[in-house]
Amino acid sequence: MSSRHLSRSIAMQSLYEWDFYGKKPDSLKKIAERNIKEFGPGLESAEFIWQLIDGISAHLEEIDKIIGKAAPEWPLEQIGIIDRNVLRIGLFELLYAKKEEVPPKVAINEAIELAKSFGGESSGRFVNGVLGTVYKELEIENKEQKTMNNE
């Protein structure tokens, strides 16, 4: 398992626990620190885990709104906790990560793998559908911007 994949797994487990217990503002850092010690003793650095956790918590409201728009038939609270937090990781990487570090298709594939590993039978397809929808929207927006810039 690559260290980035392990980092995403630890971030997802931390976000899951935080979400499960009511998203108390001060608890995420403690949960992540404990999970890093427990599940990541071989990691060279926890920096990527913190990038994910800090970034997702900073953009949580925006990310959750995007999930709501991309999956309108699934209110956020009805999406399973695993799937919801895998989507948060995938969307954070898709929208806010440096594209040179995490190309969009890698972000989507990694999220699908997390969903398959930790989620239910249809989690991979669900995550793929939501992230695919957002990715297509981003592609359309980028093409429109390029067209407007060339006019």
Residues 18-64 pLDDT 10s: 999 999 988 999 999 999 999 998 888 999 999 999 999 999 999 99
- The whole-number pLDDT of residue 79 equals 95
| Structural domain span for residue 112 | 3-150
- The whole-number pLDDT of residue 63 equals 96
Mean pLDDT confidence for 54-75: 94
Contact 67, 49 (CB under 8 A): no
| 68 pLDDT more than 80 | yes
Sign of CA dihedral 105, 108, 114, 117: negative
- The whole-number pLDDT of residue 33 equals 96
Structurally, the chain folds into a number of domains equal to: 1
Q: What is the mean pLDDT of the chain?
A: 92
pLDDT, tens only, 3-22: 999 999 999 999 999 999 99
CATH number of the domain residue 85 falls in: 1.10.940.10
- The whole-number pLDDT of residue 1 equals 53
Contact 49, 39 (CB under 8 A): no
Contact 16, 81 (CB under 8 A): yes
pLDDT band at 145 (very low <50, low <70, confident <90, very high): confident
pTM: 0.91
Q: How far apart are CA 10 and CA 4, in angstroms?
A: 10
